[in-house]
Amino acid sequence: MLHPLQVVRFRFEKLNIDTNREYNASSDKVITNDIKINFNVQKHKEKKEYRRIEISLLLNKSDKSFKDAPYRIDLVAGLELAFQDDIPEDEYMKHLQRSGPRLVITTLRAYLAQITSSFIWGEFILPTFNVDDLIKELFQSEKEEKSQ
């Protein structure tokens, strides 16, 4: 049996990676990555069983945080997901809430590592963080928007 949630397409809408040439890799300073992540869930215009999760990620935007980090990353990426036709909307929304953001972040982590592997400071691995908190924020704000 197929998983009810299937990845159809992943694409970068925007990707900027700046290298900090003055970064001191041998410094014992702790890199405190200033990360801002937002998710946006959209319905597909033509296919009702598709959903698109858009993620925007901004890493080390401020000059202060970039000074002690190897990279500044600004990106927007989208992941299109398909659901089986026979699944009710509330069921696939449950799968989307649970798995969608994790799929986006996992995919993004692999791409960023591969892209930066040829950069001066080597591959950048997107740090782990609590995706559950991001998911709660995403769907809480979505519920608040619908109730207004």
Asked if pLDDT for residue 47 goes beyond 70, the answer is: no
pLDDT digits (tens, 9 = 90+) for 54-82: 788 888 888 888 888 899 999 998 888 87
What residues contact 122, with CB distance under 8 A and at least 6 apart?
116
User: Would you kindly state where each structural domain of the chain is located, as residue ranges?
Assistant: 5-147
Indicate the pTM of the whole model.
0.74
pLDDT digits 0-9 by tens, 82-131? 777 677 777 777 777 777 778 888 888 899 999 999 999 999 888 777 77
When pLDDT is averaged across residues 132-141 and rounded to a whole number, the result is: 68
Residue with tokens 């989307």: 96
pLDDT score for 64: 85
CATH number corresponding to 5-147:
3.10.420.10
14's CB contacts (< 8 A; 6+ apart) are 74, 75, 76
Which of 121, 99, 125 lies closest to 110, judged by CA? 125
Residues 6+ apart with CB under 8 A from 36: 56, 57, 58, 59, 61
